[in-house]
């Protein structure tokens, strides 16, 4: 499989604060990769840096062989890197259909907006029922569906999904992860960051464990889910130890 995203020794800072330090990862076409970590680990910072929202202080990052450091966020979106941000980012004063239309116009094709929108409504029937409703009047779960729908209508080459279960009821969280699993099974390339480690590892082919701006380990997601030290840490019963060698994060 060809690599769509490749990151080597990435550093991102907020002024004097080093939020990410030497992060390396890759995502190949058709893969679903999860990045798990507690609040404050640097997960959302990584997603914002990859999508061009935050500047990269040092290191290399490429998307479809384009240097992310030299490409603006809207250009990355037109290339097919679509970011579903933490907090959803929907346009609250516009109806569902208007949100989708504005997103579709980023990468219009021969497919009409109406056809593209109906594909989103087929995946999220609730949005079809509420297509004329203001986004600000939707429930949190429905807004998350709209945020994902806005990305899907652009036919992403790489879908970045940031904390999709945050603030959702267990029922809506389960529904969102069901859709993500369907997208994974359809062959869509997904990079997910998520605090719910069980859901994230259950969805992914591979995963990375992020803590305080560095990757502690990485590997097959199913195998990581069996690691008692990792699960104990995320469930509040222990701590993950730093790997003996810093090369561990780059070997997967």
Residue 209 near residue 224 (C-beta atoms within 8 A): yes
Radius of gyration over every alpha carbon of the chain, rounded to an integer in angstroms? 18
Q: What is the sign, positive or negative, of the torsion defined by CA atoms of 39, 214, 16, 89?
A: negative
Compute CA distances 137 → 140, 173, 174, whole Å. Answer: 9, 19, 21
Residues 211-234: pLDDT tens digits? 999 999 999 999 999 988 877 776
Q: Please identify every stretch of the chain with a pLDDT value under 50, giving residue numbers as ranges.
A: 236-252
Residue 63 near residue 40 (C-beta atoms within 8 A): no
Q: What is the sign, positive or negative, of the torsion defined by CA atoms of 159, 123, 140, 202?
A: negative
Cα–Cα distance, 25 to 68 (Å, whole number): 14
* Domains annotated on the chain, with CATH: 3-87+155-250 (3.40.50.300)
Beta carbons within 10 angstroms of residue 226's beta carbon: 10
Quote the pLDDT of residue 234.
Answer: 65
Residues 20-65: pLDDT tens digits? 999 999 999 999 999 998 888 899 999 999 999 999 999 999 999 9
């Amino acid at each position: 499989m060809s690599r769509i995203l490749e990151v080597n020794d990435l550093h991102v800072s907020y002024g004097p604060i080093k939020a990410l330090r030497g992060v390396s990862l890759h995502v190949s076409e058709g893969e679903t990769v999860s990045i798990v970590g507690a609040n404050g680990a640097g997960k959302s910072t990584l997603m914002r840096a990859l999508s061009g929202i935050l500047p990269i202080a040092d290191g290399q990052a490429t998307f479809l062989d384009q240097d992310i450091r030299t490409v603006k966020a809207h250009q990355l979106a037109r290339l097919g890197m679509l970011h579903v941000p933490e907090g959803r980012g929907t346009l609250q004063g516009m109806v569902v259909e208007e949100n989708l239309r504005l997103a579709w116009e980023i990468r219009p094709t021969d497919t009409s907006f109406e056809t593209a929108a109906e594909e989103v409504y087929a995946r999220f029937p609730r949005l079809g029922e509420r297509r004329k409703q203001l986004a600000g009047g939707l429930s949190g779960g429905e807004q998350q569906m709209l945020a994902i729908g806005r990305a899907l209508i652009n036919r992403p080459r790489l879908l970045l999904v940031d904390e999709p279960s945050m603030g959702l009821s267990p029922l809506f969280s389960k529904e969102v992860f069901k859709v993500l699993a369907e997208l994974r099974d359809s062959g869509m390339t997904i990079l997910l960051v998520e605090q719910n480690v069980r859901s994230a590892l259950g969805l992914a082919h591979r995963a990375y464990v992020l803590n305080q701006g560095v990757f502690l380990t990485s590997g097959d997601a199913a195998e990581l889910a069996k690691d008692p030290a990792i699960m104990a840490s995320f469930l509040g019963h222990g701590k993950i130890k730093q790997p003996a060698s810093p090369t561990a994060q780059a070997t997967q």
